[in-house]
Each structure stands twice: as C-alpha cells, then as structure tokens.
Amino acid sequence: MRYLLNVRSRWVLAWALLAALCAVIPLPLTAAEPVNLILDTDIGNDIDDAFALALIHALENRGEVRLLAVTITKDNKYAAPFVDLENTFYGRPEIPIGVVHDGKTRDTTDMLREPVERRNANGQYTFPRRVGTDAEPKEAVALLREVLSQQPDGSVTIAQIGFSTNLSRLLKSDGGRELVRRKVKLLCLMAGWFGEGAAPEYNVKTDGKAAKELFAEWPVPMIFSGFELGRQVMIPYAEVQKDFQYAANHPVAESFKVFAKPGEDRANYDSTAVLEAIRPDRGYFELSSPGRVTLGPKDVTIFTPDPQGNARYMILKPENRLRVQELLVALSSEPPQSAAPVAASHRVPF
Ligand SMILES: [Ca+2]
C-alpha cells in the first residue's frame, strides 16, 4: 500500500512538473511547417497580382509560407523588375525570379513601367531592385525545374494566377511530369468560370492551348478559383488610399493608382487562389466535389464531376464574402517587417 502511494505520488509530481513547464515555455499557436510556395503570375495585366504577392509576404512574416520563387507568364521587360522591387520592398530581395520566353501579352503597362522607372531627386531608383542591376532572371521552366528538384518530395504548392504557359511547358519538358508528380502536392489556380452563365475567362483564353494541356495532364490535385468567385471580392479604392499611407512611396499602392480609375474598386481574383494555397484548412471557401476541367467552345471551362478527377473548384458562401475581402486587404497592406524570418536555405540562388 505504501509502495502504491509512492508510485501515485510520483505521477502527481511528474504531472505537476509538466504543467509548470508548459506554463513557462510558450508553445507556438501552430506547429505546422510553412507552405513551400511557387507563385506563377502574369503580373502587369491587372492589379490583383501585386496584391497577391503582398499577401504572400504578409503570411511569410507569420511563418505560414516560404516563397521559393516567382515565375512570370507576362512576356514584358518590366514584369521581372516589378516583382523584384516588390520583393525587395518587403525585405526579401533574394527570391529568384523566372521569366517566360516567347510568351503572351507583350504589351507594356503603366502599372509596371511607372514604378519600375521612377527615380528620386538624386537619380536613384525610388524602388531598389536587383534585376537589371546586379542580377538577371532565369528562364521560367528552367527555374521551376531547379527549384522543384531541390525540395522534399510532395512538399511544394504552386499558385498559378496568370496563364498556363509556364506550367504546361514544365509538364512537357524532359521528365517534367514525373518531377511535378514527385514534388508538387497541390496547384491552386485562378482560372476558369464555373456555374451559371459561364463565359470564356481571361487567364484561360489568353493561352487556351496551354490551359487545355495543363488541365488534362497535371498529375496532382488542382483547386480552381473561378472568375465568378473572384469578382465578388474587391480591392476597395478608398481602402488602398488609407491603408498604404505608412510608406511615402509604396509600389503596390502606386501601381494601383496608375491602373485604377479614381474611385474604382477592383476585383481581387488572384488573392483568393493564393489564400487557399496557404490556408487551405480555415474554412474561408467550400470546395466542389472532385471532377475534371476541360475546355469547350471559345475555351470556356467545363467542369464534369468524377470521383476519380483531380480538380475541384472553390465556392464562396455569401456569409464569408466580407471576411475574405477584408482579410485579404488587411494582410496585403501590412508594412514590411524589419526582421522578417527568411528561410534562405530553402531557396535556390538568384
Ligand atoms: Ca493575374
């Protein structure tokens, strides 16, 4: 009896010690590993790509994501410097950038050109960057292959918020489909239009051939954020005017002002796909049943339910619309963090 009491007493003491330790050692809110993310963007054709990139930086500040690389499908010389100056503004100038060769939308847009070319009174760039000064971007597919090959199997999420040019070329490159199957766990894309009244969607129809190939051949799960969802989530002009005032010169706010008409709210399509890529388990969106996405006349997306399919599309319930909209703008307008945690070891050299 005395022995049993002693054993019980020891257990009580051990539990008391453990409780005391837990009280003094703060446990992280989440022990989850950050999402290893590649962003593939047509930045410069609409303003939401710049906001989606700012959103990624805010979530990397929280340790939720590690931006491995940015690849670009807009074939214009200002796109890479703009991505680079935005990454530099947020304290991460080392993020490698890949550019498309012989791609779509070669036109120059002022929302890229003006921030890239802007100089201060001393003749220095208002927004410093490395591209065009001491570094040059790589070709996008080569960079995708390099980055993927260096990551653990099944660990990479890709957010495609432009055309399918780069990712379809990746699949067709030597061993590319196998590389994707081995390294990528999820592709979130802003692409298509699902449900009533569906019409051709810009990201799909601009490179319809690539989209068709990607949707047919992609070997791991895909989650689509369609036009019908993104158009419900706005970037309010008045909020951009107020929320980015912390910086006298802010690349995202300045690009927005160049692009949007005074007072014009713009849709935040791309940020919805990025949010799902990084926070898939927060219930912001519902998902459709599994199925397959194919293209019909004029490259309109057709979703066919199929239990064996690897595609789903996102659904935004009316009661979640405002919280998603406000969350995205609030996160995108977060100032750069002076001591942002940077897991540089996971990134390939610029
Ligand atoms: Ca885009």
Residue 6: the pLDDT is: 62
Q: Rounded to the nearest whole angstrom, what is the distance from the C-alpha of residue 45 to the centroid of ligand 1?
A: 7
Q: Rounded to the nearest whole angstrom, what is the distance from the C-alpha of residue 213 to the centroid of ligand 1?
A: 19
Q: Rounded to the nearest whole angstrom, what is the distance from the C-alpha of residue 121 to the centroid of ligand 1?
A: 33
Which residues are within 8 A (CB) of 162 and not within 5 positions of it... i.e. 6 or more apart? 40, 41, 42, 43, 45, 49, 72, 73, 74, 203
Domains in the chain: boundaries? 35-338
- C-beta neighbour count of 176 within 10 angstroms: 19
Q: Rounded to the nearest whole angstrom, what is the distance from the C-alpha of residue 165 to the centroid of ligand 1?
A: 13
Q: How far apart, in Å, are the Cα atoms of 187 and each of 24, 103, 151, 214, 255?
A: 40, 21, 16, 11, 27
Which amino acid does the sequence have at 217?
E
144-160 residue pLDDT tens: 999 999 999 999 999 99
Of 145, 184, 169, nearest in space to 73 by CA: 169
Q: Rounded to the nearest whole angstrom, what is the distance from the C-alpha of residue 225 to the centroid of ligand 1?
A: 12
| Local structure of residue 190 (DSSP, 8 states) | E
Q: Rounded to the nearest whole angstrom, what is the distance from the C-alpha of residue 338 to the centroid of ligand 1?
A: 28
| Local structure of residue 266 (DSSP, 8 states) | E
What element of type H or E holds 159? strand 156-161
Contact 190, 160 (CB under 8 A): yes
Q: How far apart, in Å, are the Cα atoms of 201 and each of 41, 123, 245, 270, 277?
A: 16, 41, 34, 13, 21
Residue 306: the pLDDT is: 98
| Local structure of residue 248 (DSSP, 8 states) | S
How far is 323 from 20, CA to CA, in rounded Å? Answer: 38
Of 229, 214, 274, nearest in space to 39 by CA: 274
Q: Rounded to the nearest whole angstrom, what is the distance from the C-alpha of residue 50 to the centroid of ligand 1?
A: 9
Q: Give the E-state strand segments of 222-320 in sequence order.
A: 222-225, 234-235, 266-267, 286-287, 291-295, 301-305, 311-315
How far is 153 from 179, CA to CA, in rounded Å? Answer: 9
Radius of gyration over alpha carbons of the chain, in Å?
22
Q: Rounded to the nearest whole angstrom, what is the distance from the C-alpha of residue 43 to the centroid of ligand 1?
A: 6
| Local structure of residue 59 (DSSP, 8 states) | H
Q: Rounded to the nearest whole angstrom, what is the distance from the C-alpha of residue 254 to the centroid of ligand 1?
A: 18
Q: Rounded to the nearest whole angstrom, what is the distance from the C-alpha of residue 73 to the centroid of ligand 1?
A: 9
Of 23, 28, 41, nearest in space to 86 by CA: 41
Which residues are within 8 A (CB) of 236 and not within 5 positions of it... i.e. 6 or more apart? 265, 329
Which amino acid does the sequence have at 125?
Y
List the CATH code of the domain at 35-338: 3.90.245.10
Q: Rounded to the nearest whole angstrom, what is the distance from the C-alpha of residue 154 to the centroid of ligand 1?
A: 25
SS3 content of the chain, % helix, strand, coil (to 5): 40, 20, 40
Which regions in the chain score pLDDT beneath 50? 1, 340-345
Two structure tokens written together for 231: 């158009």
Q: Rounded to the nearest whole angstrom, what is the distance from the C-alpha of residue 25 to the centroid of ligand 1?
A: 43
∠ Cα 236 320 197 (to 5°): 80
Residue 347: the pLDDT is: 58
Q: Rounded to the nearest whole angstrom, what is the distance from the C-alpha of residue 105 to the centroid of ligand 1?
A: 12
How far is 139 from 74, CA to CA, in rounded Å? Answer: 13
